[in-house]
Amino acid sequence: MIRQTINLIILLTLNISIPDNSVQARMKCWTNNEGVKECGDTVPPEYTQQGYKELSKEGIVKDETKRVKTKEELEKEREKARAVAKEKEKVRKKQTHDKMLLETYNTIDDINDAKEQKIQAIESTIKYNKKRIIKLQGLLDNEEKSDADNQTLKQQIAENEKYIEYKIDEQKEIEKTYFEYITRFKELKGLD
């Protein structure tokens, strides 16, 4: 009797301490290479990358492991994210520019005045450099200079001419920029 009691206690202890795997384990279902759905306690290693579902003993999906994406799919996602970020940045910059435009200028005349001031400042610089070229040319025409001095004068004349060309291009860019300002200002204010 004592022996039976001891065996019963050992049996009960073992039942309590050893969990029933069939109750705790979830069934896992995956699709094989032929497109057939299979289920079992564990997913074969060759199918773990394809994704699978874990079902409760009642057959309810409890968890789903997505398939691992390919390098190409990951690169496409990154490219798409970069494109979205670039577009957001473009919109943000446009909004900032629009805000600056509306806060800086009250009328189209204000924009034209600002443009003319910049153009005139550049025109003054161009006139100054043209006068400098005339002086340098006068020095060059003086026959008393050495060849080294003449070479230096020619270089200075060329640099001034190049600077004038740069300033003329800058004027053209200002004209273009302020034309865009006026066009956008009219759009924002609803002017014709």
List pLDDT tens digits, range 22-74.
445 678 888 888 888 888 888 888 877 788 888 777 778 888 888 788 889 88
What's the pLDDT tens digit per position in 159-189? 999 999 999 999 999 999 999 999 999 999 9
The boundaries of the domain holding residue 175 are 105-189
Helix ranges (DSSP H) in the chain: 2-17, 21-24, 71-104, 108-141, 147-189
Examine residue 80 and state whether it is found in any structural domain, yes or no. no
Mean pLDDT of 75-98: 95
- Claim to verify: residue 134 and residue 58 sit in the same structural domain: no
Residue where a domain stops, chosen among 46, 65, 84: 65
Number of domains forming the structure of the chain: 2
Mean pLDDT of 94-98: 95
How many residues can be counted in the chain? 192
Please report which confidence band the pLDDT of residue 94 belongs to, taking 50, 70 and 90 as the band edges: very high
